[in-house]
Amino acid sequence: MVLPQDLRRVVILAVRPELDGGRYPVKRIVGDELAIEVDLVVDGHDLVRAAILDRAPGDEQWRETELVAAGNDTWRATIRLPALGRHLYTAIAWVDAFATWRHGLVKKVEVEANVDVELLDGAALVRAAFERGGHPALREAAEVLASDAPLVQRIALATGSRLADAVALAPDRSRAARSRELEVLVERPRAVCSAWYEMFPRSTRDDGAHGSLRDAEKRLDYIAELGFDIVYLPPIHPIGRAFRKGPDNRPEAGPNDPGSPWAIGAAEGGHTSVHPQLGTLADFDHFVAQAVGRGLEVALDIAFQASPDHPWVTEHPSWFLHRADGSIQYAENPPKKYQDVYPFDFASADWQALWTALRDVFLFWAGRGIRAFRVDNPHTKPLAFWEWCLAEVHARFPETILLAEAFTRPKLMAALGKLGFSQSYTYFTWRQTKHELETYAAQLADASDYLRPNLWPTTPDIFPEQLVHGGRPAFVQRVVLAATLGASYGIYGPSYELCEREPRFGVEELARNEKYQLRTWDLARPDSLRHVIARLNQIRRAHPALQQNATLRFHPTDNDLVMAYSKRAGSDTILVVVNLDPYHVHRAWLTLDLAALGIAGDHAYQAHDLLGGSRFAWHGARNFIELDPQQSPAHVFAIHTLVRSEQQFEYYL
């Protein structure tokens, strides 16, 4: 029989973390400790016991961790997350009749009240614990409590810790309250901290000809030297010929124009095929193996759309939206028209077959060793599809990381994160002022249970105006911000490190856009940022403080064009100071939150600039900074406490 709620005297008011009432899982990484808080109340003054039950993926039994009272009816516990996948956790709480009785007995003994009846009550409680499967010694203890043994002996037994511990192992949970089961999606560490490098394989030759995956392999040493974790390839599939776009998105293409890789599908195949000029599936497998051998992971672009030449257009015409005249609706975002792309109709009469086929695209590439995907425009597809599809992918390949390329409304971006995307592009690209950056970072921090930011200064689709005019200092400034504000970031290369900044007139895109034409790149140019970026990635790998977002703190400055922020992990502390003006020298007084830096107020400390090598001996919260953007627009300081005698410290200064 299910007990009415009013017979369960403990009421569980809240469990944290809990996302949207438990509708969606919170996110952590494998090996994390999940700190759980539970608010619960009981009428009167009876004592309560409570615990967290949790179950890892594949486990049949619940693990139990006792909740500890933290005051004001809040209880806390921490559980470990040892495996990838979806863990379950729930809170359980009940009135502890024995502990309540024992507490009352002690108070009466202290005032020398008669406790004969109380000892009989206790005997009944101990006997009940034995009957629930408790230790056999409990039966003997119950007999002693109810006997005419000396009172001192019975009181000592009743109030002793050994009896309390034995009864606690056989709790009475017949009227326990239990919260709903909640989920935590546990992913691998790279879901939180990763550095992505985007590269078009077809633009990896020096003679201007169409590059192949074998040509692209020659770029891998360069990317590894830059220190990136993931090399991300735009779509590698056959490109449609119908309505193929020319350079800079011109409506007509010449006979040798390669077209947009996002116009997926041709006679040679669709989403599970490789463009013939790039090579074969065997070439792809070789590319992946070569990347792995250099410590790189390969991420593929998943774009759920089709060119008019895609085999599915003729094999499954019902998968596409047809207009009144019978033609298939192409993609458009007025005034832009994308005649070379057909969107899918996710609500078609044959939607189940379509959804299955799209899921199988992920599974196909995962079967070839791919565990990272960048998903194009997921906000234009049904959320119900993503919830189902991503759960299917994670169930088979729980180590899969999915990056949502969703530049859309904030709540829709949040929904995609809740539904299972590991990371998300953000509006960092357009946030420029100190106020904008600090406010936006705070918003992202508030969403950390479900939205993990991946910061990109540019992409092939977006190029902010400040880089057009700010030159090399602006490029350095923005990559420092991206690499240190966020635990994950990416660049579109080699365009970014070569500071390419000629825009298409009137459009927030680069001229000679690589989406529509082949490019050649001089990686050895002396003005390249390759050494700056490589140093940033070395710093990120060496410092755990930069590998997470939870401890980001901003520090006041007296100049709105100088921003200061820190991150801390254990004894590792990083302080970043950035000149947001790419044109002029700026000076500022910093007012540092020493507690956030792990510095006692009376301790001297050293700020070691990991980018430039300079060292500063500081004391106290208020310190002076000057940054010349032509030399370096930023300091990335490692903070170290100085342990020196007074005489040595004075000499050091």
* CATH code for position 565: 2.60.40.1180
Active-site annotation holds for 527: no
Nearest to 192 by CA among 220, 229, 234, 223: 229
Write down the catalytic residue from 376, 497, 500, 581.
376
Domain C-terminal end among 163, 187, 211: 187
Cβ-Cβ contacts under 8 Å for 445 (sequence gap 6 or more): 549, 550, 552
Out of 161, 187, 213, a domain closes at: 187
Which H or E run includes 145? helix 137-145
Distance (Å, rounded) from C-alpha 275 to C-alpha 290? 19
**Token pair of 511 as six digits:** 């001229």
Taking residue 200's Cβ as centre, other Cβ atoms within 10 Å add up to 23
- Answer yes or no: is 153 within a domain: no
- Alpha-carbon span 169 to 130, nearest angstrom: 10
> What single-letter amino acid sits at 134?
G
Per the domain annotation, does 562 fall within a domain?
yes
Report pLDDT for 648.
44
Please give the pLDDT value at position 563: 98
**What element of type H or E holds 479?**
helix 465-485
In a domain, 518, yes or no: no
pLDDT attached to residue 256:
92
CATH number of the domain that residue 41 is part of:
2.60.40.10
Residue 44 lies in a domain: yes
SS3 329: coil
Distance CA 198, CA 211 (A): 15
Burial-class residue 68 by CB neighbours within 10 Å (0-12, 13-18, 19+).
exposed
Please tell me the total count of domains within the chain: 2
Parts of the chain with a pLDDT under 50: 645-653
| Tokens matching residue 576 | 């970043």
Count the Cβ atoms, other than its own, within 10 Å of residue 211. Answer: 24
Locus of tokens 């039966």: 139
CA distances to 329, 362, 571, 611 from 320, rounded to whole Å, are 8, 20, 56, 52
Residue 566 domain boundaries: 553-652
CA of 95: how far to CAs of 49, 100, 101, 119, in Å? 6, 8, 11, 19
Query: Helix 137-145 and helix 161-168: axis angle, to 10°?
Result: 130
Residue 5 belongs to a domain: yes
Residues 92, 407: Cα–Cα separation, whole Å: 41
- Structure token pair of residue 257: 């124009």
Q: Tell me the C-alpha to C-alpha distance, in Å, between residue 442 and each of 1, 306, 448.
A: 48, 38, 10
Question: For residues 452-489, b (16+ Cβ closer than 10 Å) or e, as one string?
Answer: bbbbbbbbbebbbebbeebbbbbbbbbbbbbbbbbbbb
376 is catalytic: yes
Question: Which residues, 6 or more positions from 188, have their beta carbon under 8 angstroms from its beta carbon?
Answer: 29, 30, 84, 399, 401
Residue 1 has a pLDDT of: 53
Q: How large is the C-alpha radius of gyration of the chain?
A: 31
Q: Are strands 423-424 and 68-71 parallel, antiparallel or unpaired?
A: unpaired
Residue 639 maps to a domain: yes
CA angle 449, 455, 457 (to 5 degrees): 165
Our CA dihedral for 513, 515, 519, 522, rounded to 10 degrees, sits at 80
Contact in structure between 224 and 520 (CB atoms under 8 Å): no
Q: Are 309 and 242 in contact (CB under 8 A)?
A: yes
Helix 151-159 to helix 116-131 angle (10° resolution) is 50
- Look at residues 196, 222, 198 and name the one whose alpha carbon lies nearest to residue 460: 198
Looking at 187, 217, 247, the residue that finishes a domain is 187
Does residue 256 fall inside a structural domain?
no
Query: Catalytic one among 405, 449, 497, 500?
Result: 405
DSSP 15: E
Q: What is the pLDDT of residue 645?
A: 45
Closest residue by Cα to residue 617 from 593, 643, 595, 598: 643
Does residue 13 lie within any of the structural domains? yes
Q: How far apart are CA 613 and CA 623, in angstroms?
A: 18
pLDDT for res 651: 30
Distance from C-alpha of 331 to C-alpha of 338, rounded to nearest angstrom: 5
57 burial via Cβ count (<10 Å: 0-12, 13-18, 19+): middle
pLDDT the model gives residue 221? 98
